[in-house]
A and B are shown apart, each in its own frame.
Chain A
């Protein structure tokens, strides 16, 4: 991967052990109108981490994923990806906006799977998957097709290559969407309530594919889900959110078996 020429920025980025985090939020604030969705949020995700964000709706979990994907921009504070500023940085207390070209280079490292799949209905399954590898990464069509077919195998849809998304069930569409995101070989994979729009009987097949991805690759994952068993199986860290703040964080065992905060206990007893 080409690393773009980066502007310098201030602020320490390395963790105490010298590791550069895959994702770093530094005092990030996000508002929609008067409503503050995220307050002064600091957190880091190490490379290869699988971090699950849990908490009630409206607690800002999805906004965090959307900020990392540059679908939203922080109003205050900044985000670093692999030590590089994502959309802007601060110099002498002033916000410096980065160019679209830089943002796009940063985006290439990040993939996202959406609740509503968001496949392109005007393209076939394989066209959906190879679109960005060919036109963004510059792969040849043959290379992209080989990569796309391997991924369709992996998600269990080898015979759906020429189907249109509208011909597929929700579960199948979401598997294609996962293949499409993986075809870009992202360093960071964002999963935004990927099973919430699915019929209960197909949730399992989608989660199993994601378990395989977690097992077979070292992609950093940031997960928003209401599937607590999946969170427990896949993640190594869980962050509990409420009203735009981190209430509690820890290993899945600690959070699910022995939560320290009353807010976490209330939330878990409501969803488990």
Chain B
């Protein structure tokens, strides 16, 4: 580590990489996966709730949804951090980012549900299908297929928003890079590598999303 004057040092890059990869796998990736699961499920619940609940409940859901969408994620993280002081920050961060993105995914689901043609609903009525079966066997599967690309985009967005968790003391990938910089007075290598890890993971997940989308497409003649 003698080349302190140059902008880039391979020694420092190699030294920080294992820590970055480890933090990526154990924090960033886990937060994204669990956060996405929360967002996907809660988003669907919000979308269905707004569509099927009595008007006051649906109205309340819309209000809460808009409130969350119209305030920054960082504010929500800090607010939760100072209110729920007993919850571990990593858990809190995952839940808040999940809720935040659920409000976006709810809108995606809504658009997907609206895109199911009226004839499909009429066919379920003509077959006397129950509301539960209509939703689970006909409407949701068709709505999901149409919404998958947009949902995948939000997962990638959420993934790129995980560094915000550092404001509530979670040591995720970028914070890990900063810590290395602070200790060794070498920031460029660590931050660059952190960025490259994000880039690689984003590219990989968009390829995977496209494949999944293809797989879910109805077989066409």
- Which residues of A come within 8 Å of B, CB atoms? 69-71, 104, 107-108, 110-112, 114, 116, 118-123, 131-132, 135-136, 164-168, 180-181, 184
Contacts and interface: CB of A to CB of B under 8 A. Distances in A.
Interface SS majority for chain A: loop
Nearest to B221: A167
Nearest to B145: A122
A142 to B, nearest CB: 19
Contact of B218 (A69, A122, A184): A122
A184 to B, nearest CB: 7
A116 B126 CA distance: 14
B126 A121 contact: no
Given A108-B128, A114-B126, A132-B127, 11 more contacts: A71-B125, A114-B119, A122-B145, A123-B137, A131-B129, A132-B129, A136-B133, A167-B220, A181-B126, A184-B127, A184-B128
B216 to A, nearest CB: 9
Contacts of A114: 119, 122-123, 126
A131 B127 contact: yes
B219 interface: yes
A131 B136 CA distance: 12
A135 B130 contact: yes
A112 B126 contact: yes
Contacts of A165: 218
Nearest to A116: B119
A78 to B, nearest CB: 19
Contacts of A118: 117, 119-120, 122-123, 126
Interface SS majority for chain B: helix
B130 A107 contact: no
Given A122-B145, A164-B219, A166-B221, A111 B126 contact: yes
Nearest to B133: A135
B159 to A, nearest CB: 29
Given A69-B125, A107-B125, A122 B138 contact: yes
B94 interface: no
A120 B125 contact: no
A114 B126 CA distance: 10
A37 B13 CA distance: 76
B123 A136 contact: no
Instruction: Return the 10 tightest CB-CB contacts between A and B, nearest first.
Output: A132-B127, A118-B123, A118-B119, A112-B126, A107-B128, A122-B141, A167-B221, A108-B128, A136-B128, A166-B218
A118 to B, nearest CB: 4
B122 A167 contact: no
A69 B127 contact: no
A249 to B, nearest CB: 26
Contacts of B133: 131, 135-136
Contact of A167 (B130, B145, B219): B219
A70 B122 CA distance: 9
B142 interface: yes
A180 B141 contact: no
Interface in B92-140: 117, 119-120, 122-123, 125-130, 133, 137-138
